[in-house]
Amino acid sequence: MKKSVVGMLALTAMAAAMGSAFAQEAAKAAPAMTAAEKEQAKKIYFERCAGCHGVLRKGATGKNLEPHWSKKDKDGNVTEGGTLKLGQQRLEKIIGYGTDGGMVNFDDILTKEEITLMSKYIQNTPDVPPEYSFKDTMDSWKVIVPVDQRPKKQMNNFNLNNMFSVTLRDTGEVALIDGDTKEIRSIVKTGYAVHISRLSASGRYVYVIGRDGRLSLIDLWMEKPAVVAEVKIGFDARSVDTSKFKGFEDKYAVAGSYWPPQFVIMDGDTLKPRKVVSTRGMTVDGEYHPEPRVASIVASFIKPEWVINIKETGQILLVDYSDIENLKTTTVGSAKFLHDGGWDASKRYFLVAANASNKIAAVDTKTGKLAALVDTAKIPHPGRGANFVHPKFGPVWATGHLGADVVTLISTPSDDKKYAKYKEYNWKVVQEMKHVPGNLFVKTHPKSKHFWADAPQNPDKDLAESVAVWDMADLSKPKAILNVAKDSGLPPTKAVKRAVHPEYSADGKEVWISLWGGKTDQSAVVVYDDATLKVKKVITDPKMITPTGKFNVYNTQHDIY
């Protein structure tokens, strides 16, 4: 017995030594970098890579970028890989030229020297960032204009319903553009690379959150809309929403962090932090994950509840905000890795992409249970998705794909008796409309007869600079492919001007497309007439630098898409 124990201890020691030896060998194999090079690479990684690959580089929408990784399949077979295995030359090609899975080519974004630097950096062991506590959050909180000093009524003559909040990604700003006159009414300094803008239930306040974790509150009632409060909720963030249920309008806001993995509940009119909740825990597969990021948040209209989607764990949290001191949360298991999503037309069901699992998860917010897990083509990426009534299959919700050449239509339930005959199709993929890979956003409007889809992540320059438009009466093929870069009239450039994020005006008569060029290129927002598909206006300005997401106040306030 003693010999057996000694033998087991010896084997354990040997295994540990082998593991240690491998770690030492891996460390030796990693390219040497100076402290200055690491700092430069760390900044580039945060700005360009962390969103898809994770701060710890464990992957989600993007691949795992750890120097070495191994995983078991369901049969116990072990697969090994890592950036060290790929090597410097291969990594430089991948970063430079992109991939078919939706990663863009960085050869027109980064210099050759920066691509070499990043290839070295991701072969080194990832740094673990510090935590960010409730005290850190409180210390960052600023009220710039107290509530009692703000206007008691709207002090400008803007049509706020048709105002657009436009992200100027690389300058850390949003441009507030008048949808009626197409004039830039205000450019507001915010966090870096604002991911989304969301509206308070009243439509008065715009909440914008940057990739650097900075949440800014903009008051649209001011003579010149400006930031009235701000707070930093973490080091890396993407999502924010407000309380929209009757009786809680404008009362609370909630923002989700990528790092640290947590969400923060705040007072809606001042952003004063009230509670920080960690999202670390077990995945739907029963494994602990150290970096389960908050991917997307939406506010229910039928309950005092937020739907908070946790990327790496595949858990959907239904957070009851009626009593935030005694917070109640329902956890709904779905699939990894959760990303963006939107409501169906009834606003009862929330559909979210588990994009690395090639599924759409639908949660029934009325019952608090998973309604369906729908298999789709590769890497669904809906943004908010799009709702319309299909001529053959009734109410459907649509998602595009980063990794497949289709737009997927999924039948959704309805309590309206006139749609009862379509019940047999519910939660099934009823059609795949032919498109191209690299799609990020699809969009339509209740008053439109058209359906729009971009393809900014496609490796082909012409396709990345174009959008496809379908006629609802014939979804077999696009009615038109519009080259937004050419339609803009801007001088052609070698770098890609990516056409991204179709957004409708409040009345559904116009579609706004961002033309996202490089920092040194002139960018624009191109406005199309939805009926004729002709250009109505090209909004351009020296201050219009790298526009990406656009959020119409009325459509965003009421979740119309």
- Reported as a single tens digit per residue, the pLDDT across 246-255 is 999 999 999 9
DSSP strands (E only) in 247-337: 252-259, 262-267, 273-278, 281-282, 288-289, 294-299, 305-310, 315-320, 328-333
pLDDT at 101: 67
Task: Label residue 28 by pLDDT band (50, 70, 90).
Answer: low
Q: What is the mean pLDDT of residues 267-274?
A: 98
Question: Average pLDDT in the 338-347 region?
Answer: 97
Active site residue 450: no
**Catalytic residue (choose from 53, 68, 450, 501):** 53
Residues listed for the chain: 561
pLDDT bucket at 168, cuts 50 / 70 / 90: very high
CATH class name, domain 23-121: mainly alpha
Annotated catalytic, 544? Answer: no
* 401 catalytic residue (yes or no): no
Q: How far is the CA of 232 from the CAs of 237, 256, 259, 293, 521, in angstroms?
A: 9, 11, 12, 16, 30
How many angstroms separate the CA atoms of 50 and 534, rounded? 38
pLDDT of residue 16: 43
Neighbours of 245 (CB within 10 A): 18
Average pLDDT across the chain, whole number: 92
Of 1, 8, 14, 49, the active-site residue reads 49
**Of the residues 52, 155, 222, 472, which is catalytic?**
52
Residues 476-525: tens digit of each pLDDT: 999 999 999 999 999 998 889 999 999 999 999 999 999 998 777 889 99
Phi, psi of 550 (to 5 degrees): -130, 135
Identified catalytic residue from 68, 195, 289, 381? 381
User: Could you give the CA distance from residue 199 to residue 207 in angstroms, rounded to a whole number?
Assistant: 6
Residue at 335: amino acid letter: A
Measuring CA to CA, how many Å separate 495 from each of 288, 308, 481? Answer: 42, 37, 20
Locate the domains of the chain by residue range.
23-121
The active-site residue, picked from 68, 103, 266, 289, is 103
Backbone angles phi and psi of 199, in degrees to 5: -110, 145
- Catalytic residue chosen out of the listed positions 339, 401, 450, 501: 339
Q: Mean per-residue pLDDT for 39-55?
A: 86
State yes or no: is 53 an active-site residue: yes
Question: Beta partners for 267?
Answer: 252
Tens of pLDDT, residue by residue over 447-486, are 999 999 999 999 999 999 999 999 999 999 999 999 999 9
Each residue of 294-332: pLDDT tens digit? Answer: 999 999 999 999 999 999 999 999 999 999 999 999 999
The encoded tokens of residue 247 equal 């009786």
Tokens of 61: 């929408």
Q: What residue type is 138 in one-letter code?
A: M
CA distances from 424 to 103, 377, 410, 411, 427 (A): 37, 21, 12, 9, 9
The radius of gyration of the chain from alpha carbons, rounded to an integer in Å, stands at 24
The confidence band for 61, taking pLDDT boundaries of 50, 70 and 90, is: confident
| pLDDT at 432 exceeding the cut of 90 | yes
d(CA 466, CA 484): 5
For residue 45, what pLDDT is reported? Answer: 87
- Phi/psi class of residue 250: alpha, beta or left (left: φ > 0; alpha: ψ in -120 to 50)? left
What is d(CA 237, CA 234) in angstroms, rounded to the nearest whole number? 7
DSSP string, 3-21: HHHHHHHHHHHHHHHHHHH
- Is pLDDT of 21 > 60? no
- Find out whether 535 and 158 touch, Cβ atoms under 8 Å: no
